[in-house]
Chain A
Amino acid sequence: MFTGTQIASLFTSMGITHVVSIADSTIGPWHPAIEASPDLHLVRVCREGEAWAVAAGLYLGGATPLVLIQCTGLFESGDSLRNILHDWKLPIFSVIGYRSYLNQSTLPGDTCLVFSEPLLDAWRIDYRLIKEPSQLDEVRAHYLACRDAGTPGAALIAEGKA
């Protein structure tokens, strides 16, 4: 739905300094543009629970990080996310790929569609569902609102293939 260039420009316009990420088939192709951006640092981690902790350290150190993962990684993130967002109340923003939302041909009945949004609700993460290319600016608007409120937030970006 979006190109890497669009995403890198978006993150730059949001004032993001570090993108902590694990690739999926949608997010991975964005990585080269993020790496090529002079204003962004891509930090690769090995599991998504680790991503929240790296972002926490970056935030505590004065940087402006963002977590970029797939929804399956959100499922993996539980205890780390709980500790960072709710115990320490660090307002980390995330962009989360919503697997199979636009197309279930590869994974018919993908349970990502069952659990992603309820899980975001359960973790009390204020999110916006981005399912049209025209909604890209909503990511920035939601990020700025969360930043000003000092709360975590997420953009759940519909993905077209598994």
Chain B
Amino acid sequence: MNATHRMPLVPVLTALHRARRPDDVVITSMGAAREWMALGAGPLDLPLVPSSMGTAPAIALGLALAQPQRRVIVVNGDGAMLMNLGSLVSITAAAPPNLVLILEDNGVYEVTGAQPTPGSPSARGDGFNVDFEAMARASGFREIFHYQDLDAWTRDIDRVLNTRGPVFVLLDVSPVPGAVGPRSPGPAPARARELMRHLATPPAR
């Protein structure tokens, strides 16, 4: 990640919040979940709180396979992605055309105090910047987008989301200073049941 070209997280997510269709499923984790809930999570959204860190893309894969008529968008962080890099391969093996994986790379474990991840140049003796775009390509993604500029992301977002998947989107974002972890919006089992109830109704299209 080029440290001079990072987008602020909240406007990045605000653009997604505006662009998503009402019948899309949006899964968010960690910092993205915190900000998504602040923007207003809908009945088909799954802020993954509490979570097992790294599993959001895998849950999205299952949802995309079970609900092929819906678009499933998952917003993952770089620290979480590093915990489950194999999910990139599992996704492209199953190849759901309705899945969009958005990776927000801020180089740190934001919710624990912004410690650098092992993929961040500041945590590495060699100063190398781990290349998630190349990882996605090597894992079998064919539709890959990378944004460092908020105007470009906002301009292109509809085209990106409407691309036949699986789609990988890398967004270079800034850590949110002083950010804390997301707070659960309520008992998880009840939220799961409610999500299932809404998903049982086919999208009106």
Q: Which residues of A contact B (CB under 8 A)?
A: 18, 20, 41, 43-47, 49-63, 65, 79-80, 82-84, 87-90
Contacts and interface: CB of A to CB of B under 8 A. Distances in A.
A49 B55 contact: yes
B101 interface: no
B188 A89 contact: yes
**Chain B interface helix/strand/loop/mixed:** helix
A112 B102 CA distance: 38
B63 interface: yes
Contacts of A89: 188-189, 192
Contacts of A59: 62, 66
A87 B63 CA distance: 18
Contacts of B46: 60
Contact of B52 (A18, A46, A84): A84
A53 B59 contact: yes
Nearest to B46: A60
A80 to B, nearest CB: 4
17 contacts: A18-B66, A43-B90, A44-B94, A49-B52, A49-B54, A50-B58, A50-B87, A54-B58, A54-B90, A61-B62, A61-B67, A62-B66, A79-B53, A82-B52, A88-B188, A88-B189, A89-B188
B50 interface: yes
Nearest to A18: B65
A69 to B, nearest CB: 14
B82 interface: no
A87 B192 CA distance: 10
B66 A46 contact: no
A63 B66 CA distance: 6
Contacts of B56: 53
Nearest to B48: A83
Contacts of A82: 52
B86 A45 contact: yes
Given A62-B66, A79-B52, A44 B61 contact: no
Given A57-B64, A60-B63, A50 B189 contact: no
B62 A56 contact: yes
A20 to B, nearest CB: 8
A57 B59 contact: yes
A52 B56 CA distance: 11
